[in-house]
Amino acid sequence: MFDYTAILKENPNGVLATQDGNKVATRVFQYLFSDGNKVYFCTSNEKPVYNQLKANPYVSFCTYPTNFSPVVSVNGKVTFVDDMALKTRALDENPSIKSLYNTPDNPTFELFCIDAEEIETFSFADGPKTYTI
């Protein structure tokens, strides 16, 4: 199996794609950490993306190294997580996120994970590949 988490760790900034009604919406997002097939992110419940994730939890997160090899897309279903230990980890490991939300019990702070079902990669050397998890 391809170690997609190594690419995510080295390149945490990417693009999260969601559905907004019948349209696709994308925005820059930051990968936080992984645990098995769960890939963690956070947002505010005051942002439109929160409502989009609640309405249709199937998403894709794409990132890549500076040489574009490989481009990695993590596809799956979002689950919101209200685990204080995981929220604390997200804040402790990401000072910029902590500066926004301060504490894990902040009522606007929402931690979520993509339950990775499929990983897609592309590189100029190997072309496209799909890994089912």
Give the pLDDT confidence score for residue 9 in this predicted structure. 96
pTM of the model: 0.94
Residue spans per domain, the chain: 4-122
Give the pLDDT confidence score for residue 68 in this predicted structure. 84
Spatial distance between the Cα atoms of 121 and 16, rounded to a whole number of angstroms: 15
Token representation of residue 112: 């979520």
Read off the pLDDT of residues 66-107 as tens digits, 9 standing for 90 and up: 888 899 999 999 999 999 999 999 999 999 999 999 999 999
Nearest to 52 by CA among 75, 83, 19: 19
Read off the pLDDT of residues 5-23 as tens digits, 9 standing for 90 and up: 999 999 999 999 999 999 9
Spatial distance between the Cα atoms of 52 and 83, rounded to a whole number of angstroms: 21
Spatial distance between the Cα atoms of 133 and 5, rounded to a whole number of angstroms: 13
Spatial distance between the Cα atoms of 68 and 120, rounded to a whole number of angstroms: 14
CATH pick for 4-122 out of 3.40.50.300, 2.30.110.10, 1.10.287.890, 2.40.10.10:
2.30.110.10
